[in-house]
Structure 1
Amino acid sequence: MGGDYTGVVTVGVGDSAKSLNLILDTGSSAMAVSDNKYSPALGNGTAATNLGQVESYGDGSSFAGAVLRDTVQIGGVTGTNVPVAVAYDATDSMFRGADGILGLAYQGLDDAFLLPGVTWPEKYSPSQIEQGKRTTVVPCLMQLANEGLLLEKMAFRTRRSFVKAGRHPGTDPLNEGTFILGGGEEATDLYTGTFQIAAVLADDWYSTNLVSVGIDHQQFPVSSRPQAGMPTNSIVDSGTNTLVLGPTIIKRILSALPTAQRELLQKSMGGEMIPNTDLDLSVWPTLSFTLQGISGGHDVTLQVPPENYWQLDAGEVGQAVAAISPAQADGGAILGLPLMNGYYTIFDGTAGLGVIKFATPK
């Protein structure tokens, strides 16, 4: 039922090269592939290192693996010496049906551990890896930029947060999207008008400051205080298929809804599927999220209409799910695909801490 957007990435060269379907995730930085899909022999452009990785994600999934230096091809761009983790110890939910994950955030999130010996084909346990000296590795996109192959930016046009069920979901245009690596503004066939530009305030996640939340014409401010371990109170994340919101925001949204709508949203957030026929999306409110703009610019208000925070035919024809998830604490909102689905979105790390640009899609 998940709606992760994936892209085809070729890893390795020659006989060992594999075309892999990787989750495109701006909320993490490691590039990792399952050893069930790619278990390379050394040589011919593939080199072992003394680095291992143990990565955990917000949904509870995790992996441990060896960091190799390998050849990576994405579209028409081929990079060498790109760090790739071969994940040999992963939770069942880690890759969610894909072959791996392509983290697109900053180097500060790409933790690794330096170990006394090479980590492939030998395999250190997760606990052994974590006894090594902590360091970071250069993420794939940054490595390709360092090699002068492209700019450190990417663009998305997404349409769904959960796969739309039907007779042929693989060919349904709502289940497809566009991913541009190394650019975005030049693709004028994908958007219209000018960009709204939100500031990125820390070089780890695409960290933003959520200023306020709106329910139709009601606006309420959001505290700028981040939760422990977060540099800001929110991030924009292509790898999360819901809006993950703290208890204060959830309470304000629920209190603004009529009783019948409130009960449906609570049921869905509690794990129940909702029949499509119970939802008249024409009477549900539009949500909006205002992010801090760049210096000298304006704050950015982004709308999430009900057809984006409710997903009809979500994994099963006739059944719907709310793409809103309650977080345990305030100060760590994750603005995932429901926000992005209404926009053509560019994540641009080429200057300073970076910016996120939003335009109206064609």
Structure 2
Amino acid sequence: MKASPDSTVIKLPLLNTLAQGGYTAAMRLGSQQQEVRLVIDSGSSTLAVHHSKYQAEHDQHLQPTSLAQEILYGVGGWMGPVIHTEIALGSAKLSQTAVALVQEEASQTFAEADGILGLAYAPLNRSYDFSGYLTSQGTAPPNTYPWPFPSQSHATDKDLAAFKKLQQHATETDLPSTFDALAQQGVCANRFSLVCQRSSIHIDPNYAHPSHDPLNQGWLLLGGGAEQTQHYQGEFHTLKVLHDRYYNVDLIGLNLVGQATIKVTPSDSLLIIAGSSNAIIDTGASLISLPADAFTQLMTQFAQAVTNATELLAPFCGDVTKVIAAQQQGIDAQQLNLADWPAIEFHFQGQNGAPLTLSCAAQHYWQLNSPAHGKAVFKLMGQLPNWTPQSIIGLPLLSAYYVIFERDDTANGTVRFAAPRGR
């Protein structure tokens, strides 16, 4: 069912203080209306809540299933059973909604958040039916809740790999995402919008807690789009989504203002048929990740444009372990003069096939007063380990715009960008 034009817009306040710069929204679960805060992630499709944050045994609405999920991200991952229960987002409620209970989590995947709300498409929401296997093992009824498999307090890559082998005994099936259910039941229109200003937590001693700082707040508008004129000004710039899995887009190249375009490997037809492209738009990514070659060329452009760029960027260049450590430490912000740092231009394929350029100013790719007052962090990195040469376009660019994920516009949808109002 497609929502009517006057369908409710579900306005969810956001905070970036629990997930290392990623934004979380509140959801209520089960008969006890337990509140949890979940990472808002357009780079995945699963609704997952850590089992320790939700008293499942007291939920009178809970119905166990024979399904389990294992989801791996660029960094981190988790596994656990799937249950059905009632959820509430703002004033909207959905009964019998699929919720994964995170039984084992690797690498503190969600930081201090309670789980994740995936906003991408259903093909990413894979689950595995273990009914046959559990029956053969004498588990009756053959449900995955309570969790019938060996469990560790902290999952390792080895644990996740072992569970993947166990999946060979199960049948794979895709689950509808929570947002699919909201749109299909007519609760809200099949689109959502993001309003935010940062990709790292802003630390200001004038506030008793970072959550009180307006720079660390935002909005997720489920069902909201171009009618929300209080959040933007001017015209929209529209990207064509190439496949209904991730929000796959085609990145042509990038450069610093005034320098030559760094071309990236294009999205060929075979890649698109396989459900991918050379870039995705990801609200759950607090950095922008570029293919190794493109990242190296961009660092060269910075060295040519800014006198002390090589020295200041050195802590943020290297493997993912080094990058994470640099984000947690930062550099002395007094070494930075943002006026010296050119904007980064990202050149995409627009909705009509013509090139479309979005700009990321220095104030967005450098985050001041993070991770502490007087510090600064750089918000781009090279290619993730075991990742294809695909760009992950995260919050450093998205925070510069009012962004609409318009899933009901064309076959696979569009992502639209407009200048924010009142900044």
TM-score, length basis structure 2: 0.80
Residue 248 of structure 2 is matched in structure 1 by 207
Q: Distance in 2 between matches of 1:306 and 1:77?
A: 38
Q: In the alignment, is the contact (CA less than 8 A) between 2:190 and 2:408 conserved in 1? A: yes
Matched with 1:106 is: 121
For 1:45 and 1:147, the matched residues in 2 are separated by: 20
Give 1:99 shift: 0.8
Which residue of the other structure, out of 287, 311, 316, is the alignment partner of 1:263? 311
Within 1, Cα distance between the matches of 2:87 and 2:218?
22
Q: Is the 8 A contact 2:245 2:275 kept in 1?
A: no
92 and 254 in structure 1: CA distance in 2 versus 1, 3 angstrom threshold: closer
The number of aligned residues is 358
* 2:371–2:377 contact (8 Å) kept in structure 1: no
For the pair 1:248 / 2:248, whether they are aligned, the reply is no
Which of 39, 50, 70 matches 2:55?
39
Equivalent pairs: percent with the same residue? 29
What displacement does 1:283 show? 0.5
Map 1:1-362 onto structure 2 (within 5 A): 2-13=20-31, 16-41=32-57, 44-59=60-75, 61-116=76-131, 117-125=142-150, 127=163, 128-129=166-167, 131-167=169-205, 168=207, 169-218=210-259, 219-225=261-267, 231-257=276-302, 258=304, 260-270=308-318, 271=322, 272=326, 273-294=330-351, 296=352, 298-327=354-383, 331-351=389-409, 352-362=411-421
Quick one: distance in 2 between partners of 1:131 and 1:323?
41
- Indicate if the aligned counterparts of 1:12 and 1:46 stay in contact, CA closer than 8 A: yes
Tell which deviates more after alignment, 75-84 or 255-264.
Answer: 255-264
Measure the CA separation in 2 of the matches of 1:264 and 1:104.
35
In structure 2, what residue type is equivalent to 1:252? Q
Distance of 2:108 and 2:98 partners within structure 1: 23
The runs of at least 4 aligned residues of structure 1 exceeding 6 Å deviation read 226-230
Residue 293 (structure 1) shift: 1.2
State the Cα deviation string for residues 49-71 of structure 1 (Å, max 9, x = none).
Answer: 11100111111x11111111111
1:164–1:312 Cα contact (<8 Å) kept: yes
The structural deviation recorded for 1:161 is: 0.7
Alpha carbons 1:63, 1:87 under 8 Å: kept: yes
Question: Matched residues in 1 for 2:59 and 2:27: separation?
Answer: 20
Report Cα offsets for 1:71-91 as digits up to 9, x if no partner: 111112111121110111112
Read off the aligned partner of 2:379 and give its amino acid letter: A
Alpha-carbon distance between aligned partners in 1 of 2:59 and 2:371, rounded to the nearest angstrom: 42
Q: Extract unaligned runs of 5+ from structure 2.
A: 1-16, 132-141, 151-159
Would the alpha carbon gap of residues 22 and 130 (structure 1) be closer, same or farther in structure 2, given more than 3 Å must change? Answer: farther
Equivalent position amino acid for 1:165 in 2: I
| TM-superposed deviation, 1:214 | 2.1
Which residue type is aligned with residue 54 of structure 2?
Y
| Alignment deviations for residues 138-173 of structure 1 (CA, whole Å, 9 cap, x no partner) | 110001112221122110011111101122212111
Contact 2:80 2:147 in 1 (8 A): no
Counterpart contact for 1:159–1:341, Cα < 8 Å? yes
Contact 1:154–1:346 (8 Å) recurs in 2: yes
Cα contact 1:42–1:48 (8 A) shared by 2: no
What do the CA deviations read for 1:324-360 (whole angstroms, capped 9, x no partner)? Answer: 1111576310000001011000112124111101011
Shift of 1:42: 7.5
Contact in 1 for aligned 2:193/2:220 (Cα 8 Å): yes
Unpaired stretches in structure 1, ≥5 consecutive residues = none
1:102 counterpart letter in structure 2: L
Following the alignment from structure 2 to structure 1, what is the Cα–Cα distance between the partners of residues 214 and 148?
Answer: 42
RMSD: 2.0
Whether the 8 Å contact between 1:230 and 1:332 is mirrored in structure 2 is no
TM-superposed deviation, 1:312: 1.2
Task: Tell me how far 1:225 sits from its aligned partner.
Answer: 4.2
SS class of match (1:5) = strand
Deviation at 1:267, TM superposition (A): 2.2
* Contact 2:316–2:381 (8 Å) recurs in 1: no
- Cα distance in 2, alignment partners of residues 297 and 79 from structure 1: 38
Asked which structure has the greater CA Rg, the reply is 2
How far does residue 136 in structure 1 lie from its aligned partner after superposition?
1.1
Contact 1:71-1:79 at 8 Å conserved across structures = yes
Contact 1:212/1:289, CA 8 A, preserved across alignment:
yes
How far residue 122 of structure 1 moved from its aligned partner, in angstroms, is 3.8
Q: Are the aligned partners of 1:31 and 1:140 in contact in 2 as well (CA < 8 Å)?
A: yes
The one-letter amino acid of 1:320's match is A
Shifted more, 101-110 versus 116-125: the winner is 116-125
> Does the aligned pair in 2 maintain the 1:11–1:72 contact within 8 Å?
yes
Are the structure 2 counterparts of residues 340 and 130 from structure 1 closer, same or farther at C-alpha, using a change threshold of 3 Å?
Answer: farther
